[in-house]
Amino acid sequence: MSFRSSYGHKCAIELYRDATERQAKLAGVTIPTFMCRRCGKRQSVSGRRQVVRGSSRYGYHCASCSTARPAGAGCESRPSQV
């Protein structure tokens, strides 16, 4: 059953059906992702860690990068200032 206006244009119901039909085919596109600052890959948001704690401005590291090299790992090589 097709709903058409008197001028031959699609009505709002038919436009809505077309839009939702298109979006149903793109389910994988709507998964939230981010780009890892360390490895540069697009990853899902589960397990991500902030580069600078308390600020999302500097981006995120993915779960595999954050477990491979924990934050502050480079601090041991620096001499302590006393």
pLDDT in tens, 22-39: 777 776 667 788 899 999
How far is CA 10 from each of CA 7, 19, 32, rounded to the nearest angstrom? 9, 12, 32
Residue 69 has pLDDT above 60, yes or no: yes
Q: Is 46 helix (H, G, I), strand (E, B) or coil?
A: coil
DSSP letter, residue 21: H
Q: Is 61 helix (H, G, I), strand (E, B) or coil?
A: strand
Provide the H-helix boundaries in the chain.
12-24, 63-68
pTM (predicted TM-score): 0.47
Task: Please state the rounded mean pLDDT for residues 38-67.
Answer: 89
